[in-house]
Amino acid sequence: MRRIKSFLVVLTTAAGLMAASASPALAEDFNYGVWRNPKNSVHVEIKPCGGGKACGVVVWANDEAKADAKKGGTPELVGLQLLRDFQLQKNGSWKGKVFVPDLNMNFNGTADFPNATTMKAKGCLIGGFLCKSQTWRRVDVMASSTPSS
């Protein structure tokens, strides 16, 4: 059960990150950048990867996330591309492939961006079943909006 839970966390994270970087118009506003999952155990940088698509790479992970990835067969989590080929859909959502290191598998994922600091990510294991949604927060916006002492 822990592996499925970890999978869903990574899946929704990846989906959200990829979706965030795919739209050129939205990317200027808030989609490109570094995003963190709800547990703040993984940070993913979303950026363009050619052809109007967006991709997301892990730029930071805590020890527990790294250990879970290793157990799943992924030796190095930081530097790994989790979000692949995310594209803007007609309905305004982003859709693409998400690599889940804990399971060593790719899945479909979607992401929506209700505002500049929030990403709603959703991933499903099989054909729309066993879905999980998460709210990711943008790290670089949050950090830059914090007043310095």
With tokens 């990574």, the residue in question is: 10
pLDDT of residue 104: 86
As given in the structure block, the two tokens for residue 93 are 């959502």
Residue 100, pLDDT above cutoff 80: yes
For domain 2-143, the CATH architecture is: Beta Barrel (2.40)
Query: What are the domain boundaries of the chain?
Result: 2-143
pLDDT at 9 over 60: no
pTM: 0.75
The chain-wide mean pLDDT, for the chain, equals 79
Calpha distance 62→55 (Å, rounded): 21
Q: What is the pLDDT of residue 85?
A: 93
Among 94, 73, 69, residue whose Cα is nearest residue 84: 94
Higher-pLDDT residue of 10, 52: 52
Are 31 and 17 in contact by the 8 Å Cβ rule? The answer is no
Model confidence band, residue 141 (pLDDT cutoffs 50, 70, 90)? low
What count of residues does the chain have? Answer: 149
